[in-house]
């Protein structure tokens, strides 16, 4: 591969798992480690791109050579992504964004109540950042990529999801049984809006990142020539 084939490009990557607070010490979260998003950011930087990495919760060390923006909740991630998107040639949403958040934030630690039935937690829907970025296309010819972790009917659900979200590419992978979440390896199929499918063999998350940037670079050469 040509060393710096993403030189002159600005890419925006989201990573990690959002945390939606219930009170000052509790949150709704997920098992995302941030590894796939961090691999995407590091590989893009190594291939010459300017990288903005919007990171929700992860325990990974800060990657070198990227502009890192730390966020907590989905709402914070949305604000950071929408702020950076107008200047980005490509947006890759690898973060695990909570679909719902607690309807109410309790500003003091919620006390145990002395009764058999706990209070139900009311949830409200979070905005879908990927769908919004795909719809708005803040820069002409911008390439937008989503991820979809599925436990069943992986391809069928993926095809529905790429249509619903309106993104150009969707990386679908099967989760559960030790795959994807928490693992250094990944196995996936990249679906394209034109119906193309690219299988990614089981391997390191950096290899998936390289293949994905190949697909993005190919599209950018057509949609946003340098
Ligand atoms: O709908 P689902 O959560 O499976 O979609 C996953 C994809 O959508 C990921 O790319 C994720 O980053 C993005 N997403 C988002 N905003 C949400 C939920 C998911 O951008 N509220």
pLDDT at 115: 59
Residue of minimum CA distance from atom 21 in ligand 1: 128
pLDDT at 150: 86
Contacts of 7-10 spanning 24+ positions with Cβ under 8 A: 7/47, 7/48, 7/49, 8/48, 8/226, 9/48, 9/49, 9/50, 9/89, 9/90, 9/217, 9/220, 9/226, 10/49, 10/50, 10/51, 10/52, 10/87, 10/88, 10/89
- Can you tell me the distance from the alpha carbon of 42 to that of 49, in angstroms, rounded to the nearest whole number? 10
Residue of minimum CA distance from atom 17 in ligand 1: 128
pLDDT tens per residue across all 226 residues of the chain? 557 999 999 999 999 999 999 999 999 999 999 999 999 999 999 999 999 999 999 999 999 999 999 999 999 999 999 999 999 999 999 999 999 999 999 999 888 765 567 788 999 999 999 999 999 999 999 999 999 988 889 899 999 999 999 999 999 988 776 555 667 778 899 999 999 999 999 999 999 999 999 999 999 999 999 9
Residue 156 C-beta-side C-alpha neighbours within 13 Å:
3
Element spanning 50, H or E: strand 50-55
Residue of minimum CA distance from atom 9 in ligand 1: 147
- Ligand 1 binding pocket, CB closer than 6 Å: 14, 74, 93, 95, 97, 99, 126, 128-130, 146-148
Quick one: DSSP state of residue 76?
H
> What is the separation, in whole angstroms, between the first and last Cα of the chain?
19
- Can you tell me the distance from the alpha carbon of 109 to that of 112, in angstroms, rounded to the nearest whole number? 10
DSSP reduced 3-state for 54: strand
Q: Which residues pair with 179 in a beta bridge?
A: 176
Q: What is the DSSP pairing of strand 90-93 with strand 143-150? A: parallel
214 appears as a binding residue in the annotation: no
pLDDT at 183: 75
Quick one: DSSP state of residue 172?
E
147 appears as a binding residue in the annotation: yes
Question: Where in the sequence numbering do the catalytic residues fall?
Answer: 30
187: its two tokens: 């196995």
Residue of minimum CA distance from atom 4 in ligand 1: 148
Ligand 1: centre distance to CA 147 (Å): 7
pLDDT at 29: 97
Ligand 1: centre distance to CA 50 (Å): 23
Ligand 1: centre distance to CA 1 (Å): 31
Ligand 1: centre distance to CA 97 (Å): 6
pTM: 0.95
């Amino acid at each position: 591969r040509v060393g710096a084939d993403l030189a002159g490009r600005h890419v925006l990557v989201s990573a990690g798992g959002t945390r939606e607070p219930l009170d000052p010490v509790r949150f709704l979260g997920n098992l995302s480690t941030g590894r796939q998003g961090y691999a995407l950011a590091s590989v893009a930087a190594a291939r010459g791109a300017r990288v903005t990495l919007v990171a929700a919760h992860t325990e990974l060390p800060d990657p070198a050579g990227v502009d890192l923006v730390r966020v907590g909740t989905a709402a914070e991630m949305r604000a950071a992504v929408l702020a950076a998107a107008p200047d980005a040639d490509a947006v890759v949403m690898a973060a695990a964004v909570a679909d719902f958040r607690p309807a109410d934030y309790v500003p003091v630690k919620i006390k145990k109540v002395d009764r058999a039935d706990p209070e139900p937690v009311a949830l409200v829907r979070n905005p879908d950042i990927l769908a919004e970025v795909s719809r708005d296309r803040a820069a002409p010819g911008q390439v937008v990529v989503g991820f979809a972790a599925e436990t069943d009917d992986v391809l069928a659900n993926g095809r529905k999801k790429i249509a619903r979200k309106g993104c150009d590419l969707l990386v679908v992978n099967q989760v559960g049984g030790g795959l994807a979440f928490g693992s250094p390896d990944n196995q996936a199929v990249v679906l394209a809006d034109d119906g193309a499918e690219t299988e990614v063999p089981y391997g390191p998350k950096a290899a998936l990142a390289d293949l994905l940037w190949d697909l993005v670079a190919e599209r950018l050469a057509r949609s946003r020539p340098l």
